[in-house]
Amino acid sequence: MTEAELQELTLDECLARLRAGSVGRIGVVVDDFPVVLPVNYRMVESAGPPWVAVRTRIGGVIHRGETPVAFEIDDIDPGRREGWSVLVRGTLHAVDSDAADFRDRFDPEPWITDERDAWLVVASFSVTGRRLHRDAPEWTFEPRRYL
């Protein structure tokens, strides 16, 4: 095996991955314990820090007042033991989906659409990312891939 290296992603690399994705996980604290849920999302870019837009059910687990949250996307290749992740930390806010054509421009298109009438954004204060990769092996044949 080659040596693995952990690298910080630049902000531009993090934003490119957020733009390209559509499914992530959002973490909130409920009754003093963390809860992490999968969500469809869309990145919202403006003059300031980026936002992450999500839709959920009114009264659902993440439909709360202003609350601190973490949002994460990633991709992993278990065979090569490589991958990357992007972490957005911020505050969750309710949004009027009809304001400034928000609904038309930033609909995260949830896979389950029934009752997904609460529109939320994560207003970020931190966007960071890391990538774990290996140097190219001297010999690219990997017998494990054929077993």
Helix, coil or strand: residue 19: helix
Helix, coil or strand: residue 11: helix
Q: What does the pLDDT read at residue 143?
A: 57
pLDDT, tens only, 21-70: 999 999 999 889 999 999 989 898 878 888 998 888 888 888 877 899 99
Q: What does the pLDDT read at residue 94?
A: 85
> How many domains is the chain partitioned into structurally?
1
Higher pLDDT, 39 or 143: 39
pLDDT category of residue 126 using cuts at 50, 70 and 90: very high
pLDDT, tens only, 62-109: 887 789 999 999 999 888 889 999 999 999 998 876 676 666 666 667
Domain that holds residue 98: 4-146
d(CA 146, CA 137): 17
Residue 135, C-beta contacts closer than 8 angstroms, at least 6 positions apart: 2, 3, 5
Q: Which CATH number characterizes residue 28's domain?
A: 2.30.110.10
